Structure 1
Amino acid sequence: MTNPSTFSRRTLLGAAAALSAVTLPSLAQTKTVLRISTPAVPDDWHAKMWTVFKDALEKSAPGEFDVQINLNASLFKQGTEPAAMARGNLELSSISAFDIAKLVPEFSVFTAGYMVRDPVQQQNIFNGPIGAELFKTVSEKMDVTPLATVYLGTRQLNLREVKNVKTPADLKGVKLRMPGSKEWLFLGEALGATATPLAFGEVYLGLKTGTIDGQDNPLPSVRAAKFYEVTKQIVLTSHLVDGIFIAISNKSFNALNAAQKQKVTAAAQAAAAYNNENRVKEEAQLVEFFKKEGLQVTTPDLDAFRKAVQTTYQNSDYAKVWPKGIVERINATK
C-alpha cells in the first residue's frame, strides 16, 4: 500500500515538473525580438556596431531581448527598411538622410554639401535641439524613432589626373561620377564639376578608361574599391560629412516600458560611438596609405568651396522646404 505522504510528494513533484515544462518555454517566448536589417558587409564598422548594440543590451537587460542581426541586405533590400519599419514588419535598421528626405523634405538640408563640417559637429547637431526637433518630425511622419547618429564618412574627391584644385572654378569640365539621383547630381554640379551618373560597380573601369575624370567617396570606400590603382590625386574637399541614423519602428518602441526604452537607446548610442571612433581613426590613417601608394593628397580652399556650394543650395528649390534659419543654426553649432 502506498504511503499517503509519498503519494502527495510524487503528485507535487509531478505537478511541478509539468508546470516547469509549460513555464520555461513561456519564459523564453517573453523575450522581445529585435530584428536588425542592414546592407552593411561584415567587415564594415557599421556592421560591427550592431554586435556592440546586442552586447550592450544583453548586459543592461539580460534575457529581455532577442537581438537578431541580418547583414548584407539579407532580410530587406537597401532602401526598403524605412517602409518595413513603418508597417511594423521590421524592428531596427540604419537609415540615411536621403531616405528620410523622401518623406521629410526639410531633412534634405543634410543631403546638401558643406552643411556639416566634421564628425564632432555632426554629433553636436543631432544630439542638440536641431536633432530633437527634426527627429520628432521624423517620428511623426515616418513612424520610426531615430536613436543615434552614425558617422558614415567624409566624402572627398578622387581624380585620375593631378589637377591644381583650389576653388570650385578649378573643377570646371571635370567629369565627376556621382550616384544617379537628382540630389547627388545637384551636389556634383554645385562643386563646380560636370556631374556624371554611373553605377558604383562601373566606376573603377570608368576611371581606368577616362569615361570619367574622378569620383567622390569617403576614403575607406576609395581603398576598399581600389580606386587608388587608377587615380593619381585625392582632393580633401570634405564636401559631405555623411551619416546614417539607427532607428527603431515606433510600433516596437512604443511596446517597450520606460526602462527598456532607455536601455535600447543607450545600446544604440554605444553602437554609434563604437562606429564613430573607429571610422574617424581609419580615415586619419588612410591619408598616409594613399600617399604611400603614390597619390598626391591636397587640400583646397575649403572656405571658398563651402561658400560657393551653400550659396548654390540656398538659391535652389531644395532650400525652399528647409526650416527657416536652419542653415544659420547649423553653422553656429560648434
Structure 2
Amino acid sequence: MKFSNVKTWLLVFTLLFALTACGNDATETNANANNEGEKLTIKLAHVTNDQSAIHLGSVKFKDIVEEKSNGSIEVEVIPGGQLGSEKDLVESTKLGTVDITIPSAAVLSNFVPKAAVLTLPYVIEGSDEQEKYETLKELAKSDAYKEIEKEADAQGLKLFSEAVWWVGDRHVTTKEKPVETLADMKGLKIRTPDAAAHTEPFKAMGANVTPMNITEVYYSLKTGAIEAQENSINQIYTNNFHEVQKYVNLTGHMTQNELPVLNKKWFDGLTEDQKSIIETAMFDAGVYMSELQLKQNEEELEILKENGMEVINTDLKEFKEATKDLYQIFGDAIDEKFYNDIIESQ
C-alpha cells in the first residue's frame, strides 16, 4: 500500500472516530437535559379523611412544593387509607412504593422505637393544648429529640425533626357510661391504633384493648363490637363518632403529633434545590396544619356538644400515677436517661 493511501485511511478513521465521539457526547448531553427537565412526581399517602387537618396540611404541602418548584415537582396526595393502614404506609415508604407518609408518632414507633417517647401519657408539659404545642416546638429543637431523627435514618426513613405536625390531646369517648375516674376504665372494650404506645397505657389502666384500623371503628362502635375509642377532638368529629358515642371524656392521656417520613434513599437522590423545597414545605405545612388543628379542636368540641355529646372533666391524678413508669415497657429503646433527657429538654 502506498504511503499516501495509508495517510488517507488514517485521516478517514480519525474523522469517523471524532464524529462518533461527538455523537456520543451529544446523546449524553441530551439525556441529561431530558432528565433535568422531567417533572418529579411525589406520592404522599395518609390514612385520615379529606376533612381532617392532616389532609389539609398535606394539600398545603402540595401547594407550596408545586409553587416553589414552578411546577417542576408535582405532589399526588392520597388520603383515607386508600393504600393501607398507617403501618402499611410506613412499610411502603421504607420500600419506596410511597415517597412520603404522615403517621402518628405511636405508629412510627413500630419502626423507630425512640419515637414512642413522644406518645407516653402526660409526657408533654402544658396546662392546655396551646401551651403543649409551644412546648413540643421547643422540644423538637433539642438534641434529645434529634435522637429520633437519627434512628429514623438508620431505618431508611428521612424525618425532619423540627417539622411539627400537631394533632392534640387524645380523649376517650364512650357510649354507655362516662369515664370520671380510673375505676371506670376497668374492663372497658376500647379501640386503639395498632401500636404498643397506644395499647399499653390502656392495659395499665385496666381496659380491654382491641387494636383496629380507624376505617373500621365507626361500624364497630355502632354494632357494639367495641364500647369506646380514643382520638383527638378533630378525629372524633370528622369521623362522626358523635353519632354512636355519648361521652367525650377529657382524659388527655396522649398528646399526639404526626411525624412525616420520606423514603431516605429516594430523598438523598434528589437535587439540593428539590431537597430544600421539600423540607421547607414540610415545615411550613406543619405550622399551617397545627394552627388549623388547634382552632378546630376548640371549635369542634363545641359542635360535639351541640350534637348531644356530654363532656366529662375526668380526674386525672390516678391516670397519671398508673402510667408514670410506662416508658419501661420499651426497654432499651427508651431507657431512663433518654426519657429524662426528653423531660428536661422541655
Q: What TM-score does the superposition give when structure 2 sets the normalisation length?
A: 0.76
Q: How far apart in 2 are the matches of 1:28 and 1:257?
A: 10
Q: Supply the AA of the counterpart residue of 1:40.
A: T
Cα pair 1:106 1:323 within 8 Å, conserved: no
Q: SS in structure 2 opposite 1:95? A: coil
Q: How far apart in 2 are the matches of 1:189 and 1:34?
A: 39
Cα pair 1:157 1:214 within 8 Å, conserved: yes
Matched with 1:144 is 157
Matched with 1:331 is 343
Matched with 1:157 is 172
Shift of 1:135: 0.3
What do the CA deviations read for 1:66-110 (whole angstroms, capped 9, x no partner)? Answer: 333333444566433333333444322223324432233233323
Matched with 1:262 is 276
Q: Which has the higher Rg, Structure 1 or Structure 2? A: 2
- Change in 2 beyond 3 A, CA 1:206/1:51: closer
Matched with 2:128 is none
- Change in 2 beyond 3 A, CA 1:256/1:185: closer
Shift of 1:283: 0.6
What is the 5 A alignment of 1:297-312?
A: 297-311=311-325
Q: Supply the AA of the counterpart residue of 2:157.
A: V
Shift of 1:233: 2.0
What do the CA deviations read for 1:155-206 (whole angstroms, capped 9, x no partner)? Answer: 10112234461x4234334333334555533221223433345665664565
Runs of 4+ in 1 over 6 A off after TM superposition: none
Q: Supply the AA of the counterpart residue of 1:123.
A: K
1:71 is aligned, of 64, 67, 79, to: 79
Q: Supply the AA of the counterpart residue of 1:79.
A: K
What is the 5 A alignment of 1:106-125?
A: 106-117=114-125, 118-125=132-139
Matched with 1:32 is 40
Residue 273 (str. 1) matches residue 287 (str. 2): yes
RMSD over aligned CA atoms reads 3.2
Residue 174 (str. 1) matches residue 174 (str. 2): no
- Change in 2 beyond 3 A, CA 1:43/1:85: same
Q: How far apart in 2 are the matches of 1:31 and 1:198?
A: 38
Matched with 1:61 is 69
What do the CA deviations read for 1:267-318 (whole angstroms, capped 9, x no partner)? Answer: 111111111111111111122222223332122233442232122x14x432
Q: How far apart in 1 are the matches of 2:199 and 2:136?
A: 23
Q: How far apart in 2 are the matches of 1:209 and 1:234?
A: 19
Q: Supply the AA of the counterpart residue of 2:330.
A: Y
Cα pair 2:107 2:194 within 8 Å, conserved: no
Q: How far apart in 1 are the matches of 2:170 and 2:226?
A: 17
What is the 5 A alignment of 1:76-91?
A: 78-91=86-99
1:126 is aligned, of 130, 136, 140, to: 140
Q: What TM-score does the superposition give when structure 1 sets the normalisation length?
A: 0.78
What is the 5 A alignment of 1:224-239?
A: 224-239=238-253
Q: How far apart in 1 are the matches of 2:209 and 2:85?
A: 27
What do the CA deviations read for 1:233-268 (whole angstroms, capped 9, x no partner)? Answer: 211111112222222222222223434322221111
Cα pair 2:249 2:312 within 8 Å, conserved: yes
Q: How far apart in 1 are the matches of 2:36 and 2:148?
A: 37
> Can you give the 5+ residue segments of structure 1 that lack an aligned partner in the other structure?
1-21
Q: How far apart in 2 are the matches of 1:134 and 1:212?
A: 34
> Can you give the 5+ residue segments of structure 2 that lack an aligned partner in the other structure?
1-29, 126-131
Residue 193 (str. 1) matches residue 203 (str. 2): no
Matched with 1:221 is 235
Q: How far apart in 2 are the matches of 1:177 and 1:63?
A: 42
Q: How far apart in 1 are the matches of 2:75 and 2:343?
A: 38
Q: Which moved more, 1:271-280 or 1:202-211?
A: 202-211
Q: What percentage of aligned pairs have identical amino acids? A: 23
Shift of 1:207: 4.6
Q: How far apart in 2 are the matches of 1:114 and 1:333?
A: 15
Q: SS in structure 2 opposite 1:62? A: coil
